[in-house]
């Protein structure tokens, strides 16, 4: 499946805006992403396995609430930085 990477995280992916990763849950996809791009996961997921306050993860057009969200091979995953900051 395709994972869309926001610009603040592209220093981890070699500036790639999209990467292809397999997994049956969001947890598995993020684990694979972190293996491939070490450090990326902790910037968006806390040590208590929750999505960080200013990060949103969408599976297709649905916002994922937790990491156990089930995935299908053709899903599009968007990691987004919430509208916040200053």
Q: How many CB atoms lie within 10 A of CB 46?
A: 11
- What's the CA dihedral at 8, 13, 14, 18 to 10 degrees? -90
d(CA 22, CA 35): 12
Instruction: Write down the least CB distance from residue 66 to other proteins, Å.
Output: 11
Stretch that binds other proteins, among 15-23, 24-32, 37-45, 70-78 (CB under 8 A): 37-45
Stretch that binds other proteins, among 19-27, 41-49, 57-65, 69-77 (CB under 8 A): 41-49
Which residue, 32 or 52, has its beta carbon nearer to other proteins?
52
Site for other proteins contains 35 (CB under 8 A): no
Site for other proteins contains 38 (CB under 8 A): yes
Phi, psi of 70 (to 5 degrees): -75, 145
């Amino acid at each position: 499946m395709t994972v869309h990477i926001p610009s603040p995280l592209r220093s981890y992916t070699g500036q790639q805006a999209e990467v292809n990763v397999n997994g049956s849950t969001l947890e598995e996809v993020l684990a694979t992403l972190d293996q491939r791009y070490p450090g990326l996961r902790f910037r968006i997921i806390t040590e208590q396995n929750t999505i960080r306050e200013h990060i949103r993860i969408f599976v297709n057009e649905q916002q994922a609430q937790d990491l156990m969200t089930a995935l299908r091979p053709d899903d599009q995953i968007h990691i987004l930085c919430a509208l916040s900051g200053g």
